[in-house]
Amino acid sequence: MLSPRPGGERGPRKPARGDAEALSPKGEERSFAPADEAALETPGPGAGGWEPLSIESFIRLPDTELKVDAPAREASLEPAAAKRALVVIPALNEAPIIEKVIARILDDDHLVDPLVLVADGGSTDGTREIVRDIAIHDRRVRLVDNPGRLQSAGMNQAVRALAGDRPWVVRVDAHADYPRNYVSTLVSEALRTGAASVVVSMDTVGEDWFQRAVAAAQNSVLGTGGSAHRLASEGQWVDHGHHALFRRESYEAIGGYDESFSHNEDAELDLRLAKQGGRIWLTDKLRIGYHPRNTPGALARQYFNYGKGRARTVLKHHTALKIRQAVPLAIAPAVASLLLAPFFWAFAIPALLWACAAIGFGLVLGVRQRDSAAAFAGPAAMIMHLAWSAGFWVQLVRGEPLPKIVPPARGA
């Protein structure tokens, strides 16, 4: 249970009459028009309180051009009001960690009237009950249904339900470690830079032997190709990073996440944000820890889906890949060419060169880090490279049409 309560009170906690254990607007289609927060806090019928209801809604990029980088609205607000944030935690079966994540986010000396919304995708492991119990005793925490189950849908659902007049939307992923004062630091960085979005650097943290090998790969150029949000050591303007904070008006202006994307939804959103004039700031004030998949099969599935997601983004926006993204595309064809090696040995050369380079790089990492697990970063990276490349080519060859996203009527 979270303690102390807001205001510094300690001891047994009793439910307040105005507390709601879960909140979700009723079933008609809604746009991002904010709900009346005071009305949502009114207790529901019955001793059990509110039961979450569902919203089904679709979004798309608006046709009108809109500059989303100017912080004029925040400048017109009182200093305290300008720092109010909606924190969204998309969750699905996160019972072992959800209370810890919520507590860590609320462990912030400078939070101003925070609202933490857990967008649950239908958990069956007790996650919902844990959040309900927290919400009964802490009015800063709410539960909302996420019938779409995906993180992208959960974010949109939460913003539709309770963004209200809060200028900031913060995305928190359950499987990450966050530093103290995380949210308030993000808000301060956004106010200082005028950015439409603030992203953070990420360090992969391994616990078991396989995860440590994956972490060594992902924390190096071998696994990430040198992406800024993995390797950058100072704040800078970027075109993509690990999502952390959005200016709410910017998020709403571009329609939020594309809910048809199960992977790469963050990079796809960043493309739309940039097209409408929004700038993305990679802060050097914060770093988060990420826990990787703990089996080769799970890692391969993850990166296969990443590759498919990137291909869908390319198809949707007709964008070119960066060099660090284009190089892995050769891996799947190189491995496939091994089938022809029995007929002509030269077909094996590309795959052998790749394997030798990856394994050799991993051995160097192991020596530098003095970690036997890190020495196997090469095979871990090979899993990521091959799966990503295969996923990209499968999506590209399949060429399935992108679904048409139809926006709801404003204020419906």
Shared-domain flag, residues 241 and 348: no
Shared-domain flag, residues 339 and 233: no
The answer to whether position 253 is within a domain reads: yes
Q: Looking at residue 175, which CATH number applies to its domain?
A: 3.90.550.10
Most distant pair of Cα atoms in the chain: their distance: 77
Shared-domain flag, residues 89 and 170: yes
In 216-336, at which residue ranges do the beta strands (DSSP E only) sit? 236-238, 242-247, 280-290
Q: Which of 261, 294, 327 is the last residue of a domain?
A: 294
Shared-domain flag, residues 66 and 214: yes
The answer to whether position 81 is within a domain reads: yes
Q: Which of 267, 294, 321 is the last residue of a domain?
A: 294
Query: What are 129's two structure tokens?
Result: 């009950």
How buried is residue 311: exposed, middle or buried, by Cβ count under 10 Å (0-12/13-18/19+)?
buried
Q: Is 46 helix (H, G, I), strand (E, B) or coil?
A: coil
The answer to whether position 344 is within a domain reads: yes
In 213-261, at which residue ranges do the beta strands (DSSP E only) sit? 236-238, 242-247
Angle at 283 between CA 193 and CA 289, to 5 degrees: 155
Shared-domain flag, residues 186 and 289: yes
Whole-angstrom distance between the N-terminal and C-terminal Cα of the chain?
38
The answer to whether position 70 is within a domain reads: yes
The answer to whether position 85 is within a domain reads: yes
Predicted model pTM: 0.77
Shared-domain flag, residues 85 and 194: yes
Shared-domain flag, residues 43 and 109: yes
- Cβ(37)–Cβ(164) under 8 Å? yes
Shared-domain flag, residues 127 and 267: yes
Q: What is the DSSP letter of 32?
A: S
Sequence-ordered list of residues with C-beta below 8 angstroms from that of 275, at least 6 positions apart, any chain: none
Q: Which of 242, 265, 294 is the last residue of a domain?
A: 294
Question: What is the domain extent for residue 252?
Answer: 37-294
Shared-domain flag, residues 364 and 268: no
The answer to whether position 114 is within a domain reads: yes
- Cβ(289)–Cβ(203) under 8 Å? yes
Pairing relation of β-strands 280-290 and 236-238? antiparallel
Angle in degrees, 0-180, between the axes of helices 349-369 and 377-398, rounded to the nearest 10: 140
- Cβ(120)–Cβ(109) under 8 Å? no
The answer to whether position 18 is within a domain reads: no
How does pLDDT run along the chain (412 residues), one tens digit per residue?
444 444 444 444 444 433 434 433 333 433 444 444 433 333 333 334 434 433 333 233 333 344 444 454 554 454 667 788 999 999 999 999 999 999 999 999 898 888 999 999 999 999 999 999 999 999 999 999 999 889 999 999 889 887 678 899 999 999 899 999 999 999 999 999 999 999 999 999 999 999 999 999 999 999 887 676 566 678 889 999 999 999 999 999 999 999 999 999 999 999 999 999 999 999 999 999 999 999 999 999 999 999 999 999 999 999 888 888 889 999 999 999 999 999 999 999 999 999 999 999 999 999 999 999 999 999 999 999 999 999 999 999 987 655 444 333 333 3
- Cβ(381)–Cβ(217) under 8 Å? yes
Angle in degrees, 0-180, between the axes of helices 209-218 and 349-369, rounded to the nearest 10: 100
Q: How many domains does the chain have?
A: 2
Shared-domain flag, residues 245 and 213: yes
Residues in the chain, how many?
A: 412
Shared-domain flag, residues 265 and 117: yes
The answer to whether position 27 is within a domain reads: no
- Return d(Cα 2, Cα 364) in angstroms, integer: 44
Shared-domain flag, residues 374 and 276: no
- Cβ(32)–Cβ(256) under 8 Å? yes
